[in-house]
Amino acid sequence: MIEVLAPGPLTTVQDGGRTGWLSLGVPTAGPADWLSHTVANRLVGNPDGAAALELTLSGPRLRFTSPALVAVVGAAAQPAGGSAASRTPRRSAYAATASSRLTAPNRNSWPGRACPA
């Protein structure tokens, strides 16, 4: 479980989108960066289209209330916040412990994914 301490102005939950409804005017939608979304999900063992947080501009501050496997991909910035995320190479998964925090840096160019399993 994840507690949102601060949402970030453009943090959204994105999944693989909806297919087969375009004839009724419903667009597929889904993540802006399909590749990063897929990589993040695969790193934590989720199906490719599973929901993930999409972060833009300044990201959220999150606290994990239970252990989770987390991947942060798709951006040049490294997460901060005194957690294993700040010491984990980008495009890899890390084990978040209960009560650990993930803070996305305040950057104007951080389109990324935080994808918990």
DSSP code at position 13: E
Q: What is the pLDDT of residues 7-22, one digit of tens each?
A: 888 889 999 888 889 8
More confident residue, 84 or 56: 56
The predicted structure's pLDDT at residue 94: 83
Residue 116's Cβ-side half-sphere holds a number of Cα atoms within 13 Å equal to 19
Model pTM score: 0.79
Backbone dihedral angles phi then psi of residue 24, each to the nearest 5 degrees: -100, 5
More confident residue, 111 or 93: 93
Calculate mean pLDDT across residues 32-58.
89
